[in-house]
């Protein structure tokens, strides 16, 4: 799904249904291949915060192509960047029905604002611990 140099770490997200999903985190400049995936635009926490924000959730059978489409003017990437997006999350899944089900579950769990959801706590997810300092350093040069 990616080039190893741009992978930051894997974060386990637990949906409102209690299901845990291992989501790999990548820098925004990662060149993705055209594989099937559920993907997220995220704003990771600053300092010692234990909350990240899911800004957008999408699903596709060709991640690299879809991200290029999402980056067109007025697309979800532009809206997510305006809200502080600094990380792309990905969960590789080959079966379209799995992608559709998990994307819907993620949207229902976190109500991402760039998926036309609204609310004061929209998109917030709790993390078990603060984001590693190493991750933030890896992103500074990107």
25-49 residue pLDDT tens: 999 999 999 999 999 999 998 877 6
* C-beta separation of 103 from 59 below 8 A: yes
Please give the structure tokens belonging to residue 79: 């809206």
* C-beta separation of 103 from 40 below 8 A: no
pTM of the predicted structure, to 2 decimals:
0.80
75-111 residue pLDDT tens: 999 999 999 999 999 999 999 999 999 999 999 999 9
In order of 79, 90, 93, 124, 141, the CA distances from 43 in angstroms are 12, 14, 23, 9, 17
27: helix, coil or strand? coil
Q: Which residue has the tokens 């502080």?
A: 84
Please give the structure tokens belonging to residue 14: 């637990």
Homologous superfamily assigned to 4-140: GIY-YIG endonuclease (3.40.1440.10)
């Amino acid at each position: 799904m990616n080039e190893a140099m741009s992978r930051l770490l894997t974060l386990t997200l637990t949906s409102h249904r209690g299901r845990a999903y291992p989501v790999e985190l990548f820098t925004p400049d990662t060149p993705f291949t055209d594989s099937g995936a559920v993907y997220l635009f995220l704003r990771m926490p600053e300092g010692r915060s234990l909350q990240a924000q899911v800004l957008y959730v999408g699903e596709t059978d060709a991640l690299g192509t879809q991200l290029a489409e999402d980056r067109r003017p007025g697309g979800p990437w532009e809206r997510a960047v305006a809200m502080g997006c600094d990380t792309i999350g990905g969960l590789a899944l080959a079966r379209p029905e799995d992608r559709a089900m998990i994307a819907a579950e993620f949207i229902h769990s976190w109500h991402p604002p760039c998926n036309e959801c609204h609310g004061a706590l929209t998109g917030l997810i709790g993390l078990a611990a603060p984001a590693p300092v190493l991750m933030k350093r890896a992103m500074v040069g990107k």
